[in-house]
Structure 1
Amino acid sequence: MGVDVLTKCIHLENEDKKSPYGAVSFPIFQTATFAHPGVENSTGYDYSRLQNPTREQLEKVVASLENGIDALAFSSGMAAIATLMELFKPGDHLIVDADLYGGTIRLFDHISEKNGLKITKIDCIEAEIERNIRENTKAVYIETPTNPMMNVYDIKRLAELTHAHGALLIVDNTFLSPYFQNPLDLGADIVVHSGTKYLGGHNDTLSGFLVAGEEKIAEGLRFIIKTTGAGLAPFDSWLILRGIKTLGLRMEKAQENAFEIARYLSEQKEVTKVLYPGLKEHPGYEIMKKQSRGFGGMVTFEVESEAFAKSILGNVKLIQFAESLGGVETLITYPITQTHADVPKDQLEKNGINERLLRLSVGIEAANDLILEFERVFEIARRERDGREKS
């Protein structure tokens, strides 16, 4: 029986602390370069662009959490995805889900395609992948659940499909974190994380990760990261290490709160849609039960009008109107002007992202306080609406 994921967040098996002083917190090796004892005699570290002990420790922890061969830590989630795209060459074809984080879509549209990659954006259900796959298709790229529409895909079945065509399956696991979901165990080849989010958990630093399930892929990514120099700095690596120690506790509390808020929102007549995969009516509920250990802390909902949505955003106090997710604080985001502002309008409409849609990253505050906050801002929005109607 393996070590529980809660324990993995704090301890590596057969851990080497690399400290003669017995430090419980792994040290920050804040150095750019390392001295050699002699010619052809190295400490194992040469230059922090190549590797640094603090970053290496973090990478081992993340690889362990995702049950991967290797993990690489980057200066941001987008730096990780940009590096990932360097595995491919001009003319290679990738199928990507149409409902991805807006920054990922921006990278594909303006950088990857400029560099000669052929990108097809679809809803990544099996039939659509079969319809769009080509001889030169090298990978399928998904999020599950997706951002922000919370679509859920069967990772195991998609892995079987992509492998049958000689392609890789890449899964962005940011929304659930390795605490709730391990795509490599289900057949995925590469896992992506914005470590800024749940892994760090405190909205105080940026980071990104790629986790490989095979040695050949890991070797290719290692060559690229040392060549392009997008590795995470020592201090930021330490901050993420510190955040991961409480990952399990934070994920459990955020999920508990998300259930309460999703139920509350479902009961409000001004809310026309609640997207949370932990609700039994969500179309991905059964898949989530099969492939994940939880449903996460992200809730997307739609309200009756643009004015109602903007009133909520303008009046929240305890809940903060900010663009990010996965921290201890509850944040509310307006995808159409924030996370997905650069997504083409026709794609936004197709995905269901409109002026009435709000995305909630549920934090670890007391659930009742969060619900009281919603009651307050909903009441303000109702009064404003009624005032407009009377005038």
Structure 2
Amino acid sequence: MDASPTVPDPPSLATLLVHGSKDGIRDAYSPSSFPIYQTATFSAPDPTQAPAYDYTRSGNPTRTAVEELLASMEGARRALAFATGMAALTAVIRLLRAGDRVIAGVDIYGGTSRLLGSLGDLGIDVIHVDTTDVESVERALRSGGEGASSTEPVPSSAASRTGLPLSSRPRQTLLLLESPTNPRLQICDLGALCALARAHGALSCVDVSVMTAAAQNALDLGADVSMTSATKFLGGHSDIMAGVLAVRDPGLAARLAWVQNAEGAGLGPWESWLLMRGVRTLALRLCAQTANAAALASWLESHPAVTRVLYPGLEAHPGRELHARQASGAGSLLSFCTGDAQLSRRVCMALGLFKCTVSFGGVASLVSMPAFMSHASIPAHVRAQRGLPDDLVRVSAGIENDRDLIADLDQAFERALRAP
């Protein structure tokens, strides 16, 4: 009897990101680089038969190609590419209706906080808890009832969004998580929290923008939805706006795809192509950026003017071991404090290689002061309650030479400390 054929091992992540799935969409001419279908409409050979594509808002081959690549990376049933990260999150929020609620962390992205702050007008409750404390999250899930029955009729608009019949449905809870959090790099137990959400009938959505699914697979950890601001690491070059949702449940995928199409939130063909090109080099960039972040964190930790460094790769970080269990690598985002907002400001202004700007994840190293930039929409007293100090500087490590980056920080601190 002939020996059974050897089953090849699945490709590594770096290989998968370059080549994609062997079952993915193919162009008729087999180009080395997938084409940009820069068109709004597609001709229908037979007006009585629905073609694969008819209108780019509903679908486009270039967007399909990047969505299939992203689904392969996440091990998802389906990935959906949106015009921005906030458009992706809004699609998840659109699954809710009046009477539902969102449980979110206290240390979250400023744009997320802004969106959640508007939900009260829609009758959706928002509860902020310390997501690093599993018991606090469990208490929040219990309060108001895990799927406490709601007997009022579901409006037709809500029924369309949820895919439920025009009758009634249980109150829905969305557990919205970040880990590491932005910008204080706190770590929460994603596996435990997603399991709690499922046990209480809640929907879990994990924003993996800080790590990406390549380094921290939220779906493997039990999340219902993995969300990414692809503007950051996935695009990787600070030249596109994009967002991604990835799911494994086909029913949930269909509901989110309906919202994406109905609200016109899908990513355009040109941006889809740029995103696809960025994802090809993600593994290499993450490796270089993580190594640089570790070097910067170590240097900052030893600087006498720095009072605190927040980075899950440091031994002093309280969530270091938990993060190592649920992620690959410590990531390339870190924050530090000086104890003086004006000193932090002068350091940022004295930097040469580092650009002072919002966002993170690009090839170039960046700094920002979240209290005055990405999180400025959060009132000062709320920032204080949440532990976000004015002097905190967030650093996004790029792919430059680490010695050059450290030299730039060194001269910036020297100049900032000399200033009157």
Scaled by the length of structure 2, the TM-score of the pair is: 0.89
* Alignment partner, residue 313 of structure 2: 278
- Where in structure 2 are the equivalents of 1:263-342 lying within 5 Å? 263-342=298-377
1:147 counterpart SS class: coil
- Aligned-partner Cα distance in 1 for 2:391–2:266: 38
1:297 Cα deviation after fit: 0.3
Report the Cα offset of residue 354 of structure 1: 1.8
Q: Tell me which residue corresponds to 2:278.
A: 243
Q: What residue in structure 2 maps to residue 120 of structure 1?
A: 127
Measured in 2, the distance between the counterparts of 1:371 and 1:61 equals: 35
1:109 aligned partner: 117
The correspondence for 1:58, drawn from 66, 75, 89, is 66
Q: Does the C-alpha gap of structure 1 residues 356 and 226 become closer, same or farther in structure 2, counting only changes over 3 Å?
A: same
1:92-107 residue pairs with structure 2 within 5 A? 92-107=100-115
- The Cα shift of 1:116 comes to 1.6
Name 2:253's counterpart in structure 1: 218
Amino acid at match of 1:142: L
Identity across matched positions, percent: 37
**Residues 62 and 269 in structure 2, CA contact (< 8 A), matched pair in contact too:** yes
Q: Deviations over 1:88-123 (max 9, x none)?
A: 11110111111110011000102x221221110111
List per-residue Cα deviations over 1:184-237 (Å, max 9, x = no partner): 001010011100000000000100111112111101001111111010000000
Asked if 1:129 corresponds to 2:151, the answer is no
* Aligned amino acid, residue 62 of structure 2: T
For structure 2, which runs of at least 5 residues remain unmatched after alignment?
1-8, 146-170
Other-structure match for 1:175:
210
Q: Distance in 2 between matches of 1:129 and 1:84?
A: 20
Distance in 2 of aligned mates of 1:13 and 1:92: 38
- Residue 344 of structure 1 and its aligned partner are, at CA, apart by 2.4
User: Is 1:98–1:347's contact at 8 Å kept on the other side of the alignment?
Assistant: no
TM-score by length of 1: 0.96
Counterpart of 1:28 in structure 2 is 36
From the superposition, tell whether residues 83 and 17 of structure 1 become closer, same or farther in structure 2 (CA, over 3 Å).
closer
After superposition, residues 375-390 of structure 1 pair within 5 angstroms as 375-384=410-419, 388=420
Residue-by-residue CA offset, 1:154-213 (whole Å, 9 max, x unaligned): 111111111111111110000001221101001010011100000000000100111112
Q: Hey, what's the Cα distance between the residues in 2 that align with 1:122 and 1:266?
A: 29
Aligned match for 1:208, one of 235, 243, 248:
243
Give the superposition deviation at 1:16: 4.5
Match of 2:151 in 1: none
Instruction: Count residues in correspondence.
Output: 384
Amino acid in structure 1 at the alignment position of 2:364: E
- Distance in 2, Cα, partners of 1:94 & 1:268: 40
User: Per-residue displacement from partner, 1:239-263 (whole Å, max 9, x unpaired)?
Assistant: 0000001000000000000000000
The unaligned stretches of length 5 or more in structure 1 are none
Matching of residues 36-75 of structure 1 within 5 Å: 36-75=44-83
Distance in 2 (CA, whole Å) between partners of 1:357 and 1:21 is 52
Q: Which amino acid is the alignment partner of residue 238 of structure 1?
A: W
Contact 1:149 / 1:351 at 8 angstroms: preserved in 2?
Answer: no
1:254 corresponds to which letter in structure 2? Q
Residue 382 (structure 1) shift: 1.5
Q: Deviation of residue 4 (structure 1)?
A: 1.4
Equivalent-residue separation in structure 2 for 1:130 and 1:95 (angstroms): 10
Q: Is the 8 A contact 2:79 2:245 kept in 1?
A: yes
What code does the residue aligned with 1:245 have? R
User: What is the distance in 2 between the residues matched to 1:187 and 1:158?
Assistant: 9
Counterpart contact for 2:21–2:69, Cα < 8 Å:
no
CA distance in 2, matches of 1:378, 1:13: 47
Paired with 2:304 and 2:389, the residues of 1 have a C-alpha distance of: 19
